Structure 1
Amino acid sequence: MPGMAHAGWKRATSDNFLVYSNGSEEGLRKFAAKVEAFDSLLRLVTRLEAPPAPKRLEIYLLRDQASIHRILGRAGRNVSGIYLPNMSGALALVPRSEGSDKYDLDGETVLFHEYAHHFMMQYFANAYPPWYVEGFAEYYSTAEVDSDKGTASIGKPAYHRAYGLNLSAPFPIKRLLSDDPNPRNGQEGDAYYGRAWLLTHMLSFSPPRKGQLTKYIDAYANGVPAEKAATDAFGPISGLEEDLKRYLVARKMAYRQLSGLSIKGASIMIQAVSPAEDALIPERLNLMTGIEEKEADGFISKVRREAALYPDSPYAWDLLAETEKLTDNEKGVAAADERLLQIKPDHIPALLRKAAALADASGEAEDEQAHWKAVRALIVKANRADNDNTVALFRYYQSYRDQG
């Protein structure tokens, strides 16, 4: 399994993020401050006053795109960065290096795009038209933030969508506004993202269309069919199409400059990770992004060898337990979790894996009520260790559904 050259990993902890890097401490601090400034920007423009979410987003800063490609294997040959949502917490992989020119889709643009999705669904969960979900993320992906001055600009051109907007066939406006736009291939996908950005930008800045986007989003969220919500808010779709074409070729595009972003650089804490994490982070990223079936046995053997070097590390044994699941090795998972709970009796993933295994064996129980009580006792113990752990909350609900 391809890995990464060893270097000293460090972790930056801020209000909303856990950022890991095997690069310089200065670069790590600057990046953590920048993503916090981006979060502050989104809070400012959406007027959000809610506190940070209990679970921080994990971001792994890798050296360059080639490092990401090595982690992802063949599936990641053209990937500039990746965001992986998960019930136990989302993570993102982005390169420290920038694109070669402004038309490249670089890691920061990908991260801002995906964090905009994360932010929207975390704090403003609602029914949105599919094109606007992507248009919102594309619109904010081009933001420029200065974490030292607390300033930002939004609405800058999406140069990384220039090809899809100018050289591909325009994505049909009626399909764009439908409930199922469904781009059929990569070229259509590029055109779709480009037009979603362009329409969001036009509706945000064009004076004649002021207020239309809010009216449209509200109608759609209240169950008005997609086509009617669009025509009620925008007028004839043919007119919207013509305006969009003219907007694309306009000599200038407006953007907004903002100030007053929260500056949090001083509150970012940086520390070296444990020796086990330092050695095993690449394997964890390999596991989280997917292991091909033909490589599973070799990967498991490698993790077993490396985890054995850290017999008292919860990180190592947790990774081993998750790795053993690749081949449904129930005994291997149980053995790793037994050792893990000896080291850390309230380790949440271990408690939940043990609860899941016990639930799976419910058909063999002589006393069903006592059996499910034991399952829930493990889940409750995990919940008490972290009241906000979404997996524990879900497993508790699931236990009643499974019991029937």
Structure 2
Amino acid sequence: MIFATFLRKAASGLLSLGLACLLAVPVRAETWIRAESDNFSIYSTAPEKTTREYIKKLEVFRNLTNLLLGSSDSGPKVRFEVYLLQNSDDLQRVRPSFSKRVAGVYFNCGEGSSAYGTVSNDGDSVAEEDEGLIVLFHEYSHYIMFQHAKSYYPAWYVEGFADYLATAYPANGKITLGEPSKMRGSTLSADRWIGFDKVLKPSFGFAGDKSNDAWEVESFYAQSWLLAHYMLSDPKRARDLNTYFAEVGKGADPVASFEAATGLKVNQLESTLQRYRQQLSFLTVPVPSYPDSRIKVTKLNSATSSYLLDRSLLTTCMQPDQGRVVLSRLEKAKGGFVDDIDYQFALTRAHLLYGNAQDAEAIVGPVVLKHPESLEANYLMGRVYQKMAQTASEQERNDLIEASQGFFIAAYENNRLSAPNLYYLARSYENRPDFPDANVLNAATGAHVLAPAVKEYAIFAAQVNLAKGNRSEAITLLTPFVGNPHDRKSAERFQKAIDAIKDGKSAKDVMQALKED
């Protein structure tokens, strides 16, 4: 799943660029640093001072979201990974298809989860909005929403909630909540609002209907932000939202259910929000500053810096064309990285995903022998054998699957908080006659808990729960994906699967509904 943040003219969308453009993107030699706090890892090409400020503000922002959602730090500690780019052009390396209006992106896929953003005004802006910080807060808000999602959220609320939190500004032991958005306010001031019946319509989202022009999508984002701000500014209205979410999640008409739950007439929302916008207020919440002493900063060497961004892209589920270009770049450089274990892992993953398993095995095999305690070496070795098993004869397939299980278990013993390893470990037992047993259920559920926004993990966990007769749990796992504004076709498949569960259909029929065309 991809959550892209659009700034400036947000709605111009993604450009369709071919392989030639992929190859044309230059690779600059930049020096990266890694900053680590309790809950974040930031890889950055920005100055150390700027990077430290960003990670401190992210920690303060996380405290705010915990306060809002009644969360605690008792759960598993998995650092949220961010790539902070000094040059906005680097986002075209992240996805060559991105318009230059894309200011940040958050990826969730079976290979990993990470956010990319750019620095603006050196991260020190007070008088002007710091777009780089807004982007990171927006992307982290998506992550937080999925961490806590137990019900359906419509597309407008997914984006409106993220924008509502994104303008928070931490300073001097305090953080604001609900500050006006200059960007969204500018759009609203143009007085080209679309009907709120359209904003509330489930099919209207990131790309919008084919009939939607660029301005309509930009208005959708701006009006979604203002509507979320209005609803969340009053405790009763916020409670009413939960009733509306529950009803529309059951398939109720979005306009009728909104009006019934909130007492607000949709055809009067524009005038109501126009008045509200004139007296927009925000809260200041005391939240302790994050101490600089708890941040560890490491300057990465020039060799690691040269392939770091490509390595990160291998966990973002690229399309095959881009993946093969990244593989080609890594392969061309391998002569200079014979003893670099992180590079060997990156090249292994590139061959595994976009080349062939035999080449991947030749790279990672010697590494796992030399470093039998390594999480990544064992995990990748398990993935390699799992892929080889897909095209092997029956006896060889069984041997390869059994070998993959051994490596996944070794990786698990090294680190029990790797969501991808738990997911592929659980899947490695699919050929067993007693599938799924309690261990598979625990592993599949664990992967989803650690990375709840990854749809592959949610689908597999739902499949396992259906097989165990846990139909209501399967619905809970699938429901948050019905409101995905960035992929309406996928959202519709999730809704069909949920309807099939409610109709008492078989697990096979449910999984069939989730299959892509």
TM-score of the pair, normalised by structure 1: 0.86
CA contact (8 A) 2:134 2:167 kept: yes
What root-mean-square deviation, in Å, do the aligned CA atoms of Structure 1 and Structure 2 show? 3.1
Q: Are positions 1:193 and 2:221 aligned together?
A: yes
> What is the Cα deviation at residue 325 of structure 1?
3.8
Instruction: In structure 2, give the amino acid aligned to 1:394.
Output: Y
Q: Distance in 2 between matches of 1:117 and 1:53?
A: 19
Equivalence for 1:50: 73
Equivalence for 2:201: 178
CA contact (8 A) 1:352 1:379 kept: yes
Q: Distance in 2 between matches of 1:89 and 1:293?
A: 17
Instruction: In structure 1, give the amino acid aligned to 2:337.
Output: Y
Which of 415, 418, 428 is the equivalent residue of 1:399? 428
> What is the Cα deviation at residue 318 of structure 1?
1.0
Unaligned runs of 5+ in 1: none
Q: 1:15 to 1:134 in 2, by over 3 A?
A: same
Percent identical: 23
Equivalence for 2:298: 271
Which of 62, 67, 72 is the equivalent residue of 1:39? 62
> What is the Cα deviation at residue 314 of structure 1?
1.9
Equivalence for 2:371: 344
Q: 1:345 to 1:308 in 2, by over 3 A?
A: farther
Residue aligned with 1:80, SS? strand
> What is the Cα deviation at residue 287 of structure 1?
4.5
What per-residue deviation string (whole Å, max 9, x for no partner) do you get for residues 139-172 of structure 1? 01111111xx221112111221235423364232
Q: 1:275 to 1:383 in 2, by over 3 A?
A: farther
> What is the Cα deviation at residue 350 of structure 1?
3.9
Which of 236, 244, 261 is the equivalent residue of 1:233? 261
Aligned residues: 397
CA contact (8 A) 1:44 1:261 kept: no
CA contact (8 A) 1:65 1:81 kept: no
Equivalence for 1:121: 146
Unaligned runs of 5+ in 2: 1-22, 434-517
Q: 1:52 to 1:102 in 2, by over 3 A?
A: farther
Which of 350, 355, 364 is the equivalent residue of 2:393? 364
Which of 307, 314, 327 is the equivalent residue of 2:341? 314
> What is the Cα deviation at residue 227 of structure 1?
4.0
> What is the Cα deviation at residue 41 of structure 1?
1.7
Which moved further from structure 2: 13-22 or 258-267? 258-267
CA contact (8 A) 2:154 2:202 kept: yes
Which of 186, 189, 205 is the equivalent residue of 2:233? 205
Which of 102, 106, 114 is the equivalent residue of 2:131? 106
Instruction: In structure 2, give the amino acid aligned to 1:245.
Output: Q
Instruction: In structure 2, give the amino acid aligned to 1:254.
Output: S
Equivalence for 1:134: 159
CA contact (8 A) 2:35 2:52 kept: yes
Which moved further from structure 2: 120-129 or 12-21? 120-129
Residue aligned with 1:157, SS? coil
Q: Distance in 2 between matches of 1:287 and 1:355?
A: 17
Q: Distance in 1 between matches of 2:180 and 2:409?
A: 50
CA contact (8 A) 1:135 1:200 kept: yes
Q: 1:369 to 1:283 in 2, by over 3 A?
A: closer
Q: 1:55 to 1:106 in 2, by over 3 A?
A: same
Which moved further from structure 2: 35-44 or 161-170? 161-170
> What is the Cα deviation at residue 33 of structure 1?
0.8
Equivalence for 2:448: none
TM-score of the pair, normalised by structure 2: 0.69
Which moved further from structure 2: 86-95 or 162-171? 162-171
Residue aligned with 1:48, SS? coil
What per-residue deviation string (whole Å, max 9, x for no partner) do you get for residues 107-126 of structure 1? 22221111111112123443
Residue aligned with 1:75, SS? coil
Q: Distance in 1 between matches of 2:28 and 2:136?
A: 23
Which moved further from structure 2: 285-294 or 261-270? 285-294
Which of 87, 105, 109 is the equivalent residue of 1:86? 109
CA contact (8 A) 1:71 1:285 kept: no
Which moved further from structure 2: 291-300 or 392-401? 291-300
Equivalence for 2:168: 143
Q: 1:296 to 1:138 in 2, by over 3 A?
A: closer
CA contact (8 A) 1:276 1:313 kept: no
Write the mapping of 1:368-387 to structure 2, written as runs, cut at 5 A.
372-387=401-416
Q: Distance in 1 between matches of 2:324 and 2:227?
A: 48
Q: Distance in 2 between matches of 1:19 and 1:153?
A: 23
> What is the Cα deviation at residue 367 of structure 1?
7.2
Instruction: In structure 2, give the amino acid aligned to 1:39.
Output: R
Q: Distance in 1 between matches of 2:318 and 2:328?
A: 13
Q: Distance in 2 between matches of 1:256 and 1:61?
A: 28
